Structure 1
Amino acid sequence: MSELRRVLQPWQVLTGGICGLVLTIGLARFAYTPLLPSLQAQAGLTDAGAGGLAAINYAGYMTGALATAWIDDVRWRHRMYSMGLWLAIVTTAAMALTDWIPSWALWRFLGGLCGAAGMLLGSGLVLGWLMRQGRRPELGVFFMGIGLSIVVTALGSWGLAQLWPLWSFQWLALAAVGLVFFIPAWRWRPPVPPQVALESLAAPTVSKRWLLTMAGSYFAAGWGFVISATFIVTMVEREPALAGKGTWAWALVGMAALPAVFVWDRVARRIGDTRALLLAFGLQTCAIVLPVLSGSLAAALVGAVGYGATFIGIVSLTLALVGRRSPNNPGKAMARLTLSYGAAQIIAPVVAGAMAQATGTFHGALWVTAGVMAAGMALLASLPEEQLKN
């Protein structure tokens, strides 16, 4: 415990958190997206099977969110976060061991648990540490890790494919790359506060209606996030004029997300969190339907940039907002809201995969996603005027 109580600088805690996201979100979740075409071409994975595995990954994420929602002891939250760091590397390497679907399902489920550890426990620990240090309680810098995760998996998978075309070698190599991020993520974990064994849940500072409305809008955000996060590389590759460009579209998503976290923090300071969320929802909806309206490379790339620049803002603004309202246990409050986000991520890939297999295109699934996002915007806009100024 003395190691975890050592004095760390803000840049160390934030860098450690960013590296933790690369492991728990990048390797344990996002590596699946750029490697999916190889799994389908070399291992015979179908569209429906791909959607099913994505749903299982999010079932693991939701299971982790459920566990996080009931954990009060900061020491246990820290232990679970630490476990997620090394388990992310294990589950990534294990994907290479067999092409048996039930085995893949197990590793994807455990990878989802890792994602919850990084996103919810990690962000809660970092936000709590920032507030205790008197720092600005924003998560923009921390969530750079999501954009970096996408860039690492996109460029890493592309480079590894040039060296080792076989899908199993690519998974093993990505796991090895993860060791580079594991060291700072482990050494610079957010310290456990001294003499704190149990944190009480802060009293709600908003109405039940506010919480339910945010949960509904976050469900829509989860739906909008997961369709592109799972299928964007495959969707681009299937356009005859865009073959071979899928990985680059995925890289653009990550590069757009990296600076966007700072932009959305500043937008929220100027116009308020909820209005900033409405703007992000609207822009992401446009980015989702753009590739449907045009099959050109420009439309695909602009859509990828728009998606990357907005989904990260929605996640960062929502989690920071709810976390600030429960300062004694931000991770627990974030987890409860994230249950709706996780539910969408289980349902949406199955629906999209089935629609794509039945029709031969993802266009219908994208139109459905745009409709869900529009419903999320309507929920946000329904909040009382005083809440719009939060």
Structure 2
Amino acid sequence: MPGIKYEDFLDLDYDPADSELVCWFHVEPAADMDMESAASRVASESSNGTWAELQVEGSVTDLSATAFEIDGNTVGVAYPDELFEDGNMAQVLSCIAGNILGMKAVERIRLNDCEWPEKLATSFPGPQFGTDVRNEIFDAGDRPITATVPKPKVGLSTDQHAQIGYEAWTGGIDLLKDDENLTDQTFNPFEDRLAESLARRDQAEEETGEPKSYLVNITADANTMLDRADAVAEQGCEYVMVDVVTTGWAAVQTVRERCEELGLAIHAHRAMHAAFDRVPNHGVSMRTIAQVARLCGVDHIHTGTADLGKLENEDTVGINEWLYSDLYGMNDVLPMASGGLHPGLVPELMDRCGNNIGIQAGGGVHGHPDGTHAGAKALRQAIDATMEGVPLTEYADDNPELATALDKWGTDTPR
């Protein structure tokens, strides 16, 4: 009987097949381990190896992952397609981002990027709408769509929440958005908030002549999310919002299936992502999280502010480019920029990220000295000025809301 050893999972002359999932890891070996030994253990533990040399009847090596490239601390690992269950993201991640993150053989390990083969990628549905929401729902033309979260983000009553939404919508905001931790609390129950906010949405649409919508947070257990998605559709809303990391990818896939039946778009909030991606040499990158989200079928996802806002960011521009990229005909995803944005940051944000994005500002709208309505107008004015190629200070001459925002915040980034 042939033995299966760690070194059987390393072949630096191997050329991955087109059908294989290729993953790129940052690896820092443990003190008593060289890079080749660590790389072979990554491939072994994430496929069909174990710590003991095995004596196996017949061959199972065709199901072994192969560490095929080592470049400094970067390790490439190729996984045979047969290792994965089609359309099961939980199972895929249990392989490529599972036990290997806790192995003693590595001091640090981070899944940085994936190259998805066609068969595996297309076993997932991908987005139903993607960036087409800008025109299919909002008729926004070439400009970014806008969103805002009522502030304070939790604690407002249903009436307060809906009124703030109305003021934001009539000021030019496209989307009212729940905060990630607002679901169905007693101070602002889900069903009441949904009904009252949409009633004010309808009023705002009639007054402005512009389509408006609401990113209502349905995050809960999977069955409750399905019930809430049904309620959203019955009330005539176009969106649901899901905290995709905390609720789990299997639940996201379940919601995606129901949302296709209902014709609803999915706004993905990435709360908890930093538990995986903030440490630059360990965990799972935001790039990979965004890839998983696209495959599972979200239409928007927060990808950061290209270092302009209050949160730590990875390569926002590179992540956005991947979300736009061709992936075997799969729809793309609209990146949402959020976290400490205000009107003075809009030109630089759009210069770095382009127009095919969503811009969400919370404090940068509601913290305007003249209130939410004026703050919404200022954000929209900053976008309009940037689209027209007019400096904000010049545009502010005829737009007092923008002038006031610039006086308050300038172009500084918050912390």
TM-score category by the smaller chain? under 0.3
Greater RCO (CA < 8 Å, at least 6 residues apart): 1
Of Structure 1 and Structure 2, the greater helix share is in 1
Of Structure 1 and Structure 2, the greater strand share is in 2
Which structure: larger Rg? 2
Q: So what's the TM-score if we normalise by structure 2?
A: 0.23
Q: So what's the TM-score if we normalise by structure 1?
A: 0.24
